[in-house]
Amino acid sequence: MVVTTLMCRRRWFVVCLVAAVAAGGLALVRWWQQPDYPVPPEIPDDAIDEEIVRFLHQLRQEVLERPEVGERWGKLAMALRAHDFAQECILCFQQAARLDPEDPRWPYLEGLSIYLYDRGKAMDKWEQALARCRSTADALQVHLRLGEAALLEGDWPSAQRHFAAVLQQQADHPRALVGRARLACLQEQWHDALRDLEIPRQDERTQKQAWQLVAEIYYQLRQPQAAQAAERQAAALPDDPPWPDPFVEQVMRLRVGRLARLQAAQELIRQQSYLLALEILDTLISRYPDDPAIQLAYAQALLGLGQPSRAEQLLRQLLRHHPSFPSAHFYLGNALLLQHRLLEASQSYRQVAELLPVHAQALFNLGHCLHQAGEVPQAIEAYRTLLQRRPEHGAARWALAELLAQHGRPADARAELEELLRQQPDHRKARQLLQQLPP
Amino acid sequence: MSSTRQAAILSSTVSIGCVLVSIGWGCQRERPAAQTDTSSAALPLWFVDATSDWGLDFVHQAGPTGGYFMPQIMGSGLAVLDFDNDGRWDLYFVQNGGPSSGQPNRLYRQLPDGRFADVTSGSGLDVTGYGMGVAVGDANNDGWVDVVVTEYGRTRLFQNRGDGTFREIPQAFTSPLWATSAAFVDYDRDGWLDLVVTNYVAYDPARVCYGSRGQPDYCHPVNFDGTVTRLYRNVSFRQPEHVQFEDVTQASGLGRLAGPGLGVICADFDGDGWPDIFVANDSHRNHLWINQRDGTFREEAILRGVAYNVMGQAEAGMGIALGDVDGNGLFDLFVTHLTEETHTLWLQSPQGRFADRTARLGLHRSRYRGTGFGTVMVDVDQDGWLDIAVANGRVTRHPAALPSVAPDQFFVPYQERNQLFWNKGQGEFQDVSLANPALCDQPGVWRGLVAADLDNDGVPELIVTSIAGPARIFRNVAAARGSSLQLRLLTRDGRRDAYGAELWVEAAGRRWYRLLQPAGSYLCSGDPRIHVGLGTLTAIDRLVVRWPDGQYEQFPGGPVPAIRLCRQGSGTPLPNYR
């Protein structure tokens, strides 16, 4: 009985031992087969914007929790790249590309990150991205990138191939047409280039560069008048907007921190979306109450909203702490001007001109203020000072010419108008006023 | 955790640590894997650092750090001049520590033994300021070179008294703009040197800029308006004992277009015999002012193909070098740019028309990249083809730099290495930087660069300035050097160098084409003589000079190597040559 019990126990012990060894072995095999993930790069946090550090740490933690997820590596990589961690992002893009083999973003963005140091390798990465593209839009973007890089590298056949690939999908693609036109110029095929530029010079995304290229081509063809006409056409156009890159835009959307928010607010102010700008600035000002750049942007937004007295209050407070801040004096001048306190405004502008003699807008506004206040000789002097320092300032020359004409100095006005028309031949008002002046 | 993993983690920690330590303590050098090229051993060694041999002890003062005052990161230049007419080249270095820094610009006189002695004190050039560039020329035709110093906020004129000292002409120029490079040029061909001064941006020092990581850094020029290049007509003929200039910026047309100008070079770009003005603008299209021969200029950079690079992009133009790199008898144009861009070479062909051929000529395949400032075209090995040297140094912190460094290491994150490109013939370039560690393997925030034959041995040295660092002289020790000809071209009265003169050297069925213009590069004025490498030739057939007034003369050939002097009127007139 005792023997049977002992044997029974021993059997159980053996069974348990075998089971334990088997379970351990299985776990070991599973663990052994698990892929080996690298550790994401450390985020140096010394003297960098805290918000950026927190954000990057959070993304890094997410990678550490699920290192097998490519998207997490990719997001960390993009966030690192968005904050100029150019070296650190490369490993993360590589991991993302390995774990997420369908997504063209990772090799594409890795290529952008290494382009500065190794153009050949970067172009290989973009070729890999191209092979992953499932959507036409993505493929066009990568073809354009490759075509332009090949052009810069002097690899004309590759450039030709990539531009052709885009144009096969979209025959009127203006950027690809400009690229092909540039290639034709390099090969002195001027007429082919001119043909390719017909569409781009009508497209607001490429019109300025297209007209500039047309000017250069006509000059090469020894048609100087046509060249100069094209050059004038180009000069009259605003700069072409940056061509959107959907991959890079995803990166830029991950920017956080004081600078990113301030730049977003400034962009909104530029677009006259003052309320939206104030929403961002309210957050910023609560976090950085003593930051002069944020206070200045806040005052700008208030001025945009038509609240000059609030802006004045804020700017005076800012100037108490930063009395030599030219931009604060300038916007204070604007706040006072909006309240029709002309002499006080002119004092502010004078202060700017003293602190920063090359501040063109302050001298221009000073001239305007003095003119409004009836101080004509002083206004003329302000405009003349501005034009002496910044002779390219067309608006000041026009204001001066008008003022001189209004106050019985036609000869002086004529001289300014003639100079203005040499600078801006298409200035219609100047031409009209010139015709109206007594001989 | 497996030992493999432990080892991996340990090694990665050590690696990251090493990377960070190396970044923090001095590297900032972009070393791609590809640059471990064993073939570099076969490439030519051209330069050794001979600064101490010359006794030069100049150290640039950049002023207090940490405020990110933008003029500080633009650096300062230097001039090669013979201010005392003793036949030996002296040196003048600009400081930018500020008016109250107590650190004046430095003047070094070359002694008979070839070493440089600091003679700043009492020279009249011992001035302080936010100094940028320097131009040298005999403005009143009295046989003594005068000096123009450009600064943040003003331009200053110093007249040579003829006794080894200078006097400043107060309020000679009243422009409050941030002046950068300057050049003397006789644009109206009246026999008096006029002056072009490029100006940078309407900078607001109260503006604080930040990098993408949120750390403060120097501002990018796009944050400010560009300003106009100023042209000053020399009116010293009215009273030659007093150098005088008249501001003709507006009347000449140069006042119509603004840009963030950093580099300037004056040469005849369209072949009409009148000097034109090329301005390299930072992150803005370049300007090429074509002389209309009536005192006015027309801007034609777009038409002539030098406004943009091959992709139609405006690059960050800094320094300029001009020379005939492909031997087609026309000047080509080289401009240095940011690390993210390329240093760009525009070939001229046909006359007056340029095309970006950087890639075709191999200049895009550099071993490493840099933000270029000073640059020169000089035939280092004297094989008959112009080589190119570039002084590099960042304007914003290296992205991989540690966010904070010790105050004495402030400029370390801005350091880069210089570059040297060998012209293998017909303008095909090969990067020989790795074979020239003295010039190219010392990290620095390099800015000014000139070529000058300091010891009159017929072979030019290179002199480089760096921000908050010592200036260096690199002696040319190229082993298989060819023969050379060095020429000084003087005006009719023999009193001054004939700036703007063009030279053709004919030998063995080939022609070399060179220009006399010491201004160029970045913030600098170099050796006013012309140096021509001639390879294995032992004699030249003849020389032809087009003088600044448009007249041609030929001079007889002779054996080389040689250092010669040609004075206008002493040769045989030619009706035309080109």
Q: What is the pLDDT of residues B162-181, one digit of tens each?
A: 999 999 999 999 999 999 99
Output B481 or A70, whichever has higher pLDDT.
A70
Which residues in B lie closer than 8 A to residue A210 (C-beta atoms)? none
The answer to whether residue A277 is domain-embedded is no
Which residues in B lie closer than 8 A to residue A213 (C-beta atoms)? 312
Domain tally for chain A?
A: 1
pLDDT of the residue at B468? 96
Residue of A nearest to B200 (CA): A358
Output A121 or B34, whichever has higher pLDDT.
A121
Task: Work out the minimum CA distance from A51 to partner chain B, whole angstroms.
Answer: 9
Q: Which domain holds residue A154?
A: 50-235
Output A411 or B23, whichever has higher pLDDT.
A411
Question: Per the structure block, which two tokens stand in for A255?
Answer: 């920017």
A253, A231 Cβ separation under 8 angstroms: no
Q: Which of A84, A148, A293 sits opposite B311 (nearest CB)?
A: A148
Alpha-carbon gap, residue A246 to A344, rounded angstroms:
49
**DSSP per-residue string spanning B434-500:** GG-HHHHSS-B-EEEEEEE-TT-SSS-EEEEEETTSB-EEEEE--TT--EEEEEEEE-TTSSSB-TT
Task: Work out the minimum CA distance from A8 to partner chain B, whole angstroms.
Answer: 37
Task: Report the C-alpha dihedral over residues A294, A297, A298, A301, rounded to 10 degrees.
Answer: -160
CB contact B578 to A (< 8 Å)? no
CB contact B339 to A (< 8 Å)? yes
Q: Model confidence at B37, in pLDDT bands (50, 70, 90)?
A: very low
Which runs of consecutive H residues, i.e. helices, occur in B45-108?
Answer: 70-74
Q: Is the CB of A116 less than 8 angstroms away from the CB of B360?
A: no
pLDDT of the residue at A69? 97
CB proximity list for B7: less than 8 A, separation 6 or greater:
none
The answer to whether residue A269 is domain-embedded is no
The answer to whether residue A417 is domain-embedded is no
Q: Is the CB of A391 less than 8 angstroms away from the CB of B256?
A: yes
pLDDT of the residue at A324? 95
CB contact B211 to A (< 8 Å)? yes
Mean pLDDT computed over B5-29:
38
> Nearest CA to A175 among A143, A138, A212?
A143
Q: Which of B206, B255, B364 sits opposite A153 (nearest CB)?
A: B364
CATH number of the domain within which A91 lies: 1.25.40.10
**Stated pTM of the model:** 0.92
Question: Per the structure block, which two tokens stand in for A80?
Answer: 């690192």
The answer to whether residue A153 is domain-embedded is yes
Q: Which of A84, A213, A389 sits opposite B213 (nearest CB)?
A: A84
Block mean pLDDT (10 aa), chain A, length 439: 62 78 74 76 79 95 96 98 92 97 98 91 97 97 98 96 98 98 97 98 97 98 96 94 96 95 96 97 95 96 98 98 97 98 97 97 98 97 97 97 96 97 93 94
Q: Which of B213, B249, B400 sits opposite A83 (nearest CB)?
A: B213
Q: Is the CB of A148 less than 8 angstroms away from the CB of B225?
A: no
Q: Is the CB of A44 less than 8 angstroms away from the CB of B402?
A: yes
Quick check: B405 pLDDT over 90? no
pLDDT of the residue at B3? 41
Q: Which of A39, A293, A359 sits opposite B202 (nearest CB)?
A: A359
Question: Chain-wide mean pLDDT for chain B?
Answer: 91
pLDDT of the residue at A47? 59
Question: Per the structure block, which two tokens stand in for A292?
Answer: 């002069």
Mean pLDDT computed over B234-257:
96
Q: Which of A44, A182, A388 sits opposite B403 (nearest CB)?
A: A44
Residue of A nearest to B365 (CA): A153
Mean pLDDT computed over B262-289:
97
Task: Work out the minimum CA distance from A12 to partner chain B, whole angstroms.
Answer: 31
CB contact B295 to A (< 8 Å)? no
The answer to whether residue A69 is domain-embedded is yes
CB contact A40 to B (< 8 Å)? no
The answer to whether residue A319 is domain-embedded is no
The answer to whether residue A258 is domain-embedded is no
Q: What is the layout of strands, in order, in the sheet containing B372-378?
A: B372-378, B387-392, B419-423, B429-431
Quick check: B23 pLDDT over 60? no
Alpha-carbon gap, residue A215 to B271, rounded angstroms:
21
Quick check: B538 pLDDT over 80? yes
pLDDT of the residue at B26? 32
The answer to whether residue A294 is domain-embedded is no
pLDDT of the residue at B15? 40
